Amino acid sequence: MPNTNPDSRRANPESHIANPVYASLYRPPQLESPSASLAAIAREFSPRFECHRDDLVTIDVSGLERLLGPAQTIGEELRREAASRGVRVHVAVAATRAAATILAHARPGLTIVEPGREADALAPLAIGVLAMAVTDERRPVLDTREGHGPNVSARGAPRVVKKLDETLESVSSTLTAWGVKTLGELAALPSGDLASRLGREALVWQAFARGEDVRPLVPTLDEERFESTLELEWPIEGLEPLSFVLTRLLEPLSTRLERRDRGAAVLHVLLRVIDSGSGRSEYVRRLELPTPMRDVRTLRTLALLDLESHPPGAAVDRVTIVIDPTPGRVLQHTLFTRAQPTPEQLSTLLARLAALMGQDRLGAPAVVDSYRPGAFAMSPFAIDHAGARPSTGSGRAVMNSTLVVSPSTRAHPEPVEGERSFRTGSSNEERAVLEPLPPITSALRRCRQPVPARVAIDNGRPVRVTTDRRGFVGGTVVQCAGPWRTSGAWWAEGKSDVGSRKSDVLQTSDFRLHTSCWNRDEWDVALNDGAVYRIFQDRDTDAWFIDAIVD
Amino acid sequence: MPLARADLESLLRTRRLDRTLTTALPAPDPAGIPDEFVCAPTGHTPLDARLCGGFPRGQLSEIVGRRSSGRTSLLLQTLASATARGELVALVDALDTLDVASADAAGVALDRLLWIRGHVVSNPGMCRDLNQRAMEQAIRAFTLVLQAGNFGIVAFDVSEAPVDAIRRLPFTTWMRLQRLIDGSQTAGVLVGGESMARSSAGLTLRLTHGIRDSGCGIRFGQRLFEGFDLDARVVRARARAQQEDAAVAVRTLAACHA
């Protein structure tokens, strides 16, 4: 069954690799001991391979098409190489590691999956194959060497994979009780409902069933290790001297990365700190970089900013830098698109801003699917933006450079006042008055904490608004519009407190906080001082508040 | 025959490349077509025509006006216009008052907007310097974004900040910021109740309620607030002679009620 659930779309962990292709080699149990290891076979084809177990290896064969041919040829070459070494293997080639690994377990011989058809290829398989195929995924996705941080990654991803083996049994029994027997049936279940019933671990199993990767391929490195250590004669305190040490360590590492056409995906900073009582201890910081980079200044700045936010707390007498490499970023600049900040510049800027303002105070705003007044979300500001792009936002199109001639508006030689129109070309003949757009949208300025107000009412309409808040003097209402009644989330409130309805504004000592539900009448009022406010009356407490300023 | 210097300059001027010879801003296009690499258009055609294309890049500009004078509406419109051209924009929201739904309704591509929210205690009580510290922190954030470069528009919004908090900032702040942004492709936009940067600002745009036949510039319907009728007036422009401009009428329309 094809996967049509939009919730299932997730970011490809290795989206920087164009058209990824993976091959999995699985060696079924044999009586005689194998004459060659699968790693040796994999090394013949690509340096990027991951040994999951002795009998299972996944190879990144992206780009081998130009050398060997299509996926079918690559698979046949792999089988031929294994046979020449006396090893009988199952081979599966797919665009995701999950699909390749599961299919290598499930099907003997050679299996080729067309890109984008992973879910279809996995759909008829029984659920039981998951337990056999993805046993290696049970290990934690994230490094456990994090020094003092919580049990989450720097990006906040929880360690859900760690618990997979614990939950598999219960998940399997539940799915069996539901009548779900194949991977296709599991993949078709609504993700949100599945997570609410079986927990987030079930989403990982569902991702496997859909042939989606939950983490990038971690190459088995046996050759070069990007690590550099400096023993200090005297312990140093403070970040300024540490800056010189980091530069000295990072420069040769950067050179080696460049030589290997690699970039840093993860930067580990290991500091040996001198404790007052217990001697020496290791302090580890782990920076997951948003994009592969090897610029020394950027790496040093990011490391310093991270240490500034999480200082080691004691003097340091040994500094070690370890870099997890990943294929370098290939950039093709163009003269036809606007210059954008480089990912290195943006990463450094965001790190500096986070150190100054706090991690939760910056990002890209996002609208949320809610009628709650003032509701919004923050998402990380993307590092990699495409160049100039057409306007596809949910708002109105306001591109000045796009020529969309509307015959109905050609008759107007000049734009109507208050409307926007577009011109293009360099001569008068080429000017065209284009589709008139609506006027500028009046914007609100939100009071994150509604300002308590005193409102006088006459004939059911506000006639005077005053507050005690500095900057909100208030005055006589000269015009008003309303009421707009709005309420929501009362169903959620009822779950926690049956029988007693709570307001969305809870009064504490001297301030009020938004809680889950809201129930209010909103008015837009213009005061005699020229200000226009959006005020509301909480219908449960009858209290009035200024919610926003129309500006 | 070798070309004389005057001929070369004339050719460069014809191709609008004369900035390689002088730091003076090029003369505005007589046809009124905004050059988006020189100015950041607001997206409002009459206003852009009056601003000679928009807010000048490489300079600090100001949008000033009283509360409810349409400053935020014009700012969001300008950001929307920039993001539609593919630019990255940043907003240092010193008092954390941005309404995301309004920004979305204005057409801002939110994924291209770096929103930096200030720490503000709305009622600081005895700790009167809290807002001041938040203001200085916001200035530092604004400086960092300008230093990073390559943003199309970087806005600094202190519209609702107390006047004394802004006046307490050293005046050299604005001169330093102007030096920082000078020559870059970024248009710095300051939004406030009154002019902050004064002589450091390249352009100051004052918004007021326009007196129309409909009334005092605030339009209300039967049950809905409908929008503003505003007058935008350029009160200072470095690139032009100091003269009082005629006001440009700007009409805003209220977004649908949630």
**Would you list the DSSP string of A186-251?**
HHHS-HHHHHHHH-HHHHHHHHHHTT--SS-------S--EEEEEEEEEEE-SHHHHHHHHHHHHH
Check B102 against A444: CB less than 8 A apart: yes
CA of A522 to nearest chain B CA: how many angstroms apart? 10
pLDDT score of A270: 93
Q: Which residues of A touch B68 (CB under 8 A)?
A: 526, 530-532, 549-551
At A516, is the pLDDT very low, low, confident or very high (cuts 50, 70, 90)? confident
pLDDT score of B62: 92
**Mean predicted lDDT score pLDDT of chain A:** 76
pLDDT score of A170: 72
At A511, is the pLDDT very low, low, confident or very high (cuts 50, 70, 90)? very low
pLDDT digits (tens, 9 = 90+) for B99-118: 999 999 999 999 999 999 98
pLDDT score of A155: 38
**Mean predicted lDDT score pLDDT of chain B:** 80
pLDDT score of A309: 84
> Which of B33, B144, B222 is opposite residue A353, by nearest beta carbon?
B144
At A33, is the pLDDT very low, low, confident or very high (cuts 50, 70, 90)? low
Q: What CATH architecture is A6-209? A: 2-Layer Sandwich (3.30)
Check B123 against A470: CB less than 8 A apart: yes
Residue A430 pLDDT > 90, yes or no?
A: no
Q: Which of B81, B72, B32, B30 is nearest to B187 (CA)?
A: B81
CA of A291 to nearest chain B CA: how many angstroms apart? 17
CA of B75 to nearest chain A CA: how many angstroms apart? 9
Residue B236 lies in a domain: no
- Range scoring the smallest mean pLDDT among A220-224, A346-350, A355-359, A396-400: A396-400
Check A524 against B148: CB less than 8 A apart: no
pLDDT score of B235: 83
pTM for this predicted structure: 0.61
Residue of A nearest to B98 (CA): A445
Residue B213 pLDDT > 50, yes or no?
A: yes
At A482, is the pLDDT very low, low, confident or very high (cuts 50, 70, 90)? confident
Q: Which residues of A touch B76 (CB under 8 A)?
A: 441, 443
Q: Are A338 and B152 in contact (CB under 8 A)?
A: yes
Instruction: Report which of residues A82 and A221 the model is more confident about.
Output: A82
Please, how many CA atoms are within 13 Å of residue B171, restricted to the half-sphere of its CB?
Answer: 5
- Range scoring the smallest mean pLDDT among A144-158, A187-201, A517-531: A144-158
pLDDT digits (tens, 9 = 90+) for B182-195: 888 899 999 998 88
Check B254 against A441: CB less than 8 A apart: yes
pLDDT digits (tens, 9 = 90+) for B73-92: 999 999 999 998 888 999 99
CA of B215 to nearest chain A CA: how many angstroms apart? 11
Check B119 against A426: CB less than 8 A apart: no
Q: What percent of chain B has pLDDT over 90?
A: 27
Which candidate in B48, B50, B51, B68 is best for mutational testing of the A interface (most A CBs within 10 A)?
B68
The DSSP line for chain B is -PPPHHHHHHHHHHTT-GGGT-SSPPPPPTT----TTTEE--S-HHHHHHTTTSEETTSEEEEEESTTSSHHHHHHHHHHHHHHTT--EEEEETT--B-HHHHHHHT--GGGEEEEEPP--SS-TT-TTHHHHHHHHHHHHHHHHHHH---SEEEEE-TTS-HHHHHTS-THHHHHHHHHHTTSSPEEEEEESS-SSGGGEEEEEEEEE--BTTBSSEEE-SSSEEEEEEEEEEEEETTS-S-PPPPEEEEEEEPPP-
pLDDT score of A220: 80
Residue A103 pLDDT > 60, yes or no?
A: yes
Is domain A226-327 annotated with CATH 3.30.1490.100? yes
A to B CB pairs, distance under 8 Å = 273
Check B46 against A415: CB less than 8 A apart: yes
Residue B241 lies in a domain: no
Residue B199 lies in a domain: yes
Q: Where are the alpha helices (DSSP H) in A234-315?
A: 239-259, 296-309
Which candidate in B50, B191, B222, B225 is best for mutational testing of the A interface (most A CBs within 10 A)?
B225
Residue A310 pLDDT > 90, yes or no?
A: no
pLDDT score of B64: 93
CATH code where residue B92 lies: 3.40.50.300
CA of A545 to nearest chain B CA: how many angstroms apart? 14
- Dihedral, A442, B189, B43, B79 alpha carbons, nearest 10: -70
pLDDT score of B240: 58
Q: Which residues of A touch B149 (CB under 8 A)?
A: 341, 345
The DSSP line for B161-184 is S-HHHHHTS-THHHHHHHHHHTTS
* A94-103, A280-289, B19-28, B191-200: which is most confident: A94-103
Domains identified in chain B, total number: 1
Residue of A nearest to B116 (CA): A362
Q: Where are the domains of chain A?
A: 6-209, 226-327, 444-550
Check A378 against B218: CB less than 8 A apart: no
The boundaries of the domain holding residue B83 are: 40-46+54-206
* A415-419, A434-438, A490-494, A507-511: which is most confident: A490-494
Q: Which residues of B touch A409 (CB under 8 A)?
A: none
Check A401 against B36: CB less than 8 A apart: yes
Please, how many CA atoms are within 13 Å of residue B111, restricted to the half-sphere of its CB?
Answer: 11
- Whether ipTM tops 0.95, in short, is no
At A161, is the pLDDT very low, low, confident or very high (cuts 50, 70, 90)? very low
